[in-house]
Amino acid sequence: MNTLRLYGQAERYDDFLENCRPSDFIAEPNHKQGSGYSGRPEPSGELQVQAQWFGGEFGREFIGTDGQWIEIVQAGHWNHGVGPDFTDCAIRVDGELRRGSIELDLHARDWETHGHGSSERFDDVVLHVFTESPCSARFFTKNSKHQQIAQLELPHFTETLGPRSRLPEAHPGRCLPVLADMQAPEVADLLDSASHYRLRQKGLRLHRMASSTSKEQAFFQAFAEVLGYSENKLAMALIAQRNPIQSLRERSSAEQEAILFGSAGFLEEYPRAEKKEPLEPESQNYVLGVWDDWWKLRPDHSPDNSRSVPWVYSNTRPGNHPHRRLAALTAGLRQWPDWSELVEQDPANVMRSMSRWARSLEHPFWQNHYTLTSGLSAKAISLLGTARVRDFVGNVLFPYFCVRDPELWESYRRLGGSTSNQKIRRAVLRLFGPDEESGKPWIKTFAAQQGLLQIYEDFCLEDASGCANCPFPEQLSQWKVDNSSTDRSLRLVHF
């Protein structure tokens, strides 16, 4: 299988990053003393790692803990009830095809801690995947019949569902005077290279997902993640994974809506007879209409309580409420476009084409309601605003298609910047100081913003010394514009 890699400016930043990583720069991870586990960073949570695994972000081919060649032939299905995480899977271990379930834990010993080894429900597990294993002694995974199960420790855990949600308190960094002394073309070149690198990483992630599932499913999950914002990105990804687009498109529009809202757990809050405070008449009619389809589909799509979707309701504006985000996904599914055609026919006007598609999304209920319980809004509410459109174009469409056609970089470079948010403001403050005018020239475009965020994440968020030991300021002196290079575009290489 060919592997796609992008070189050029992205590779230059990659080299720069490697030269900036002395052993004392990265903060030591916090882990329990005496736990026996290795010192790698603690994953964000089991559910998030499971979502990344099912989405194909770790790839499909691995080396098992016993040196076997393991290939994921079929990722299977999310298990909505008790038992292994993924059912109906197929893997190859050193060429031998094995069918059964896959269980994914954070630690290898969770297999016994959670009682899987003594439960008959886990007897068909063919692969035990985990992110950490004991460093003091080898642990073997066995079922209730004392049969040994193939193990896979994920070789590298990365936050590929998106950048960190927790940010340190921002303050001007030591790099501020160094950047101020650099020539404007050098700063632009640095951000340009970091943006190339970030674009490549996002594009390769989407191609891995497409290779593990399908291109349509990769776009469906990515679209859902964009709709979820940072608070509900994981929740929306789980909805897209548990309800693959291929199976949804075989259903009627009413059934699609019932499956998405029902599997999200939203309909369970409003049973017909038990509701103490009746909904508004229009909301009541809508919920009952969706429920009429859901009760027939419920046995196959309703998750067990232990696998409920982890929705976040705090710190969300009415327009970003999970109900509305899921409504936008439902409306988008009804008019799902051919993304290849949309991008490749007129790459210079992708934003305009995408905006036109977004304006066509309609829903008789959700155009005038923020949530299932809210009253009628005074005016119509757009299901998909300009900010979400821009994020989907810049974070999904261009990254995916630039891997296939690097010439699209110039179109991506012309994409206007997104509305300033907390992450961007903090990055500007750290690198360019509190004077807003100093940072404005470097955040005008989406590409420049992405380059700035990449540098901020690679250095400011990795530093644990209060800026004192960060190698970025000293390394900047080595960054010079390569005026001899006549081709600043990305190159596509197959090997």
3-state secondary structure the chain: CCCEEEECHHHHHHHHHHCCCCCCCECCCCCCCCCCECCCCCCCCHHHHHHHHHCCCCCCEEECCCCCEEEEEECCEECCCCCCCEEEEEEEECCEEEEEEEEEEEECCHHHHCCHHHCHHHCCEEEEEEEECECCCCCCCECCCCCECEEEECCCCCCCCCCCCCCCCCCCCCHHHHHHHCCHHHHHHHHHHHHHHHHHHHHHHHHHHHHHCCHHHHHHHHHHHHHCCCCCHHHHHHHHHHCCHHHHCCCCHHHHHHHHHHHCCCHHHCCCCCCCCCCCHHHHHHHHHHHHHHHHHHHHHCCCHHHCCCCCCCCCCHHHCHHHHHHHHHHHHHCCCCHHHHHHCCHHHHHHHHHHHHHCCCCCCCCCCCCCCCCCCCCCCCCCCHHHHHHHHHHHHHHHHHHHCHHHHHHHHCCECCCCCHHHHHHHHHHHCCCHHHHHHHCCEHHHHHHHHHHHHHHHCCECCCCCCCCHHHHHCCCCCCCCCCCCCCEEEEC
Q: How confident is the model at residue 44, as a pLDDT?
A: 54
What pTM value is reported for the model? Answer: 0.75
Q: Are 415 and 393 in contact (CB under 8 A)?
A: yes
Predicted pLDDT of residue 283: 87
Return left, alpha or beta for 309; rule: phi > 0 is left, psi -120 to 50 is alpha, else beta: beta
pLDDT, residue 23, reads: 45
**Nearest 5 degrees, angle CA 332-CA 307-CA 225?**
30
Query: Given its phi and psi angles, is residue 64 left (phi above 0), alpha (psi -120 to 50 degrees) or beta?
Result: beta
pLDDT at 2: 36
Residue 277 is predicted with a pLDDT of: 56
- The pLDDT value given to residue 318: 80
**pLDDT in tens for each of the 495 residues of the chain?**
333 444 577 888 888 877 776 544 544 433 333 333 233 334 458 888 898 898 888 888 998 988 899 999 988 888 877 899 999 899 999 999 999 999 999 999 999 889 898 899 999 999 999 988 876 567 889 888 888 999 999 865 444 343 344 444 457 888 989 998 898 999 999 999 999 999 999 999 999 999 999 999 999 999 999 999 888 999 999 999 999 999 999 999 999 999 999 999 998 866 544 444 567 888 889 999 999 999 999 998 888 888 889 998 876 778 889 999 999 999 999 999 888 787 777 777 888 889 999 999 999 999 999 998 888 888 888 999 999 999 999 999 999 999 888 888 898 999 999 877 778 888 898 899 887 778 888 899 999 999 999 999 998 888 767 677 888 998 887 786 553 443 433 333 332
Longest dimension (CA), the chain: 75
How high is the pLDDT of residue 421? Answer: 78
Hey, which residues does 5 pair with through a beta bridge?
A: 493
Q: Do residues 234 and 49 touch, judged by C-beta distance below 8 A?
A: no
